[in-house]
Amino acid sequence: MTEEPLDADAWVHTIESNFSLLVVPCSDVNKVRFAAQQLRGTARLWWDQYTAMLPADHIVTWDEFKNAFRAHHIPQGLMERRFNEFLDLTQGLTLFSNMPRNSIIYVSMWVIRLTLT
């Protein structure tokens, strides 16, 4: 995991694409286990703290994991700001050229996912 907040969303998308490769459907519990095993560094520390605060018998669902992960790693409103920046692109591409390259890629992917849902 990198320090770029939008990498967190791309990471979740990559993990979910791995699930689609499975021949047999993966349970929510196993999705969370798999994803948690992929976490490194501060992302792993976050997960360890998150689960330590839950009741011992609590089972984290995949949706809960994704929501908590994104809430922690992606600052509130960032995706919407990037989306609005993407929509506000001018013909001269002034704003577009000021955006970090990886932000452009992630926002583009996010726009595509929004239109598909």
What DSSP letter does each residue of 57-115 carry, written as one string?
T----HHHHHHHHHHHHS-TTHHHHHHHHHHT--TT-HHHHHS-HHHHHHHHHHHHHHH
- What's the Rg (C-alpha) of the chain? 16
Question: What is the C-alpha separation between 59 and 92, in angstroms, rounded?
Answer: 51
77 backbone φψ class: left, alpha, beta (φ>0; ψ -120 to 50): left
Each residue's pLDDT expressed in tens, for the chain with a length of 117 residues: 546 666 788 899 899 999 888 878 889 999 999 999 999 999 999 999 999 999 999 999 999 999 999 888 877 776 666 666 666 665 445 555 565 656 656 666 656 665 555
**What are the sequence ranges of the domains in the chain?**
1-74, 75-117
pTM over 0.85: no
